[in-house]
Amino acid sequence: MPGSYDNSNIFARILREEIPCSKVYEDAHVLAFRDIRPLAPAHILVIPRGAYTDVVDFSARASAAEIEAFWRAVAKVAKEEGLSEGGFRAIANTGLNGGQEVPHFHVHLLGGRALGPMLTRAA
C-alpha cells in the first residue's frame, strides 16, 4: 500500500471538504472527526492532512513536525473528549490483515464504555 496513495479515498475527500464531517479538532497538520459508524459512545478518527496510506507510510515519509503534531493531537482529542481518565483504545488498522477500509492513515479513538478484550480468540 505505501507509495500508492489514492487521492479519491473518502478521507482525502473529507480533507478537501468535498464531503462533510463532524469535526472535533483541526490544526495545520491534523484533522479529527467522528466516525460515521460509531462502535462506542465516543468514536473519533484522527488523520494527518498529508497523503499517507497507513502507519508505515506515515512513519517513513512524514516530517518530524507532522509526526509530532499527529500524536499530540491524538492525546489532546482523547483528553478533551473525556477519554483519558477512564481509559480508551487507539487503533490503526493497517492493510488487508488489519482490516483497513480507508487507505488514508488514521487512528480510531474508542471509549466511553468498557471495551472488553481487544480481540476474540479466533483461528
Nearest CB to ligand DGP, comparing residues 48 and 65: 48
Rg (alpha carbons) of the chain, rounded to whole number: 14
> Using the rule CB under 6 A, which residue among 12, 15, 21, 44 binds ligand DGP?
21
Cell of 112: 466511553
Query: Rounded distance, CA 11 to CA 48, Å?
Result: 10
> Using the rule CB under 6 A, which residue among 23, 27, 36, 80 binds ligand DGP?
36
Q: What single DSSP character describes residue 108?
A: E
Contacts with ligand DGP by CB under 6 A: the residue count is 12
Burial 91-114 (b: 16+ CB within 10 A, else e): ebebeeeeebebbbbbbbbbbeee
Active site residue 106: yes
Q: How many CB atoms lie within 10 A of CB 64?
A: 7
Binding flag, residue 93, ligand DGP (CB under 6 A) = yes
Check 43, 104, 106, 108 and give the catalytic one.
106
Select from 32-40, 62-70, 81-89, 109-117 the region that touches ligand DGP (CB under 6 A): 32-40
Binding flag, residue 56, ligand DGP (CB under 6 A) = no
Per the document, the length of the chain is 123
Nearest CB to ligand DGP, comparing residues 65 and 98: 98
Residues that bind ligand DGP (CB under 6 A): 10, 21, 33-37, 93, 99-102
